Amino acid sequence: MNSLLGRILVAAAILMSVLLMLFALTRWLGAEQKPEEVQLYQGIPLDATLIQLDRRALNEAYHAQLIKLFGVWLTEGAREPRFITNGLQIARRAYHTAAQQIAVREQQILEQEQKQQQKP
């Protein structure tokens, strides 16, 4: 009976070791891959009025997301900072991506307007 229990414990230890190695490998491989760049304006025509509204909406959405994050964190007793930290990182990364693409669109609109002004 003792040897059977020993075999079960060794098998369980081996299984746990393999699972931990797989988990570590998965995390390591995931860290190696960069997420695909999101193209927010692909196939959307330039529009100076709408790009201003896009920037305003981005700022308002970011603010609303922060209110949600802090609201949930405080409601849960502010015990686990990891959750709000992850949420803030995601929100800021998304904001930065969208703000960069809006800035590119704004520059394209300025260049388009300058070309139109130069035409006789």
pLDDT, tens digit (0-9, with 9 covering 90-100), for 9-55: 888 888 888 888 777 777 766 655 555 678 899 999 999 999 999 99
Cβ of 100: how many Cβ atoms within 10 Å?
12
- Structure tokens belonging to residue 15: 């299984």
Mean pLDDT lowest among 28-32, 87-91, 97-101, 110-114: 28-32
Residue 58 has pLDDT above 70, yes or no: yes
Q: What pLDDT is recorded for position 17?
A: 82
- Average pLDDT value over all residues in the chain: 87
- Structure tokens belonging to residue 4: 């059977």
Contacts of 5 (CB under 8 A, 6+ apart): none
Average pLDDT value for residue range 98-116: 94
The phi and psi torsions of 103 (rounded to 5 degrees) equal -60, -40
H-helix or E-strand containing 20?
helix 2-32
Q: What pLDDT is recorded for position 18?
A: 81
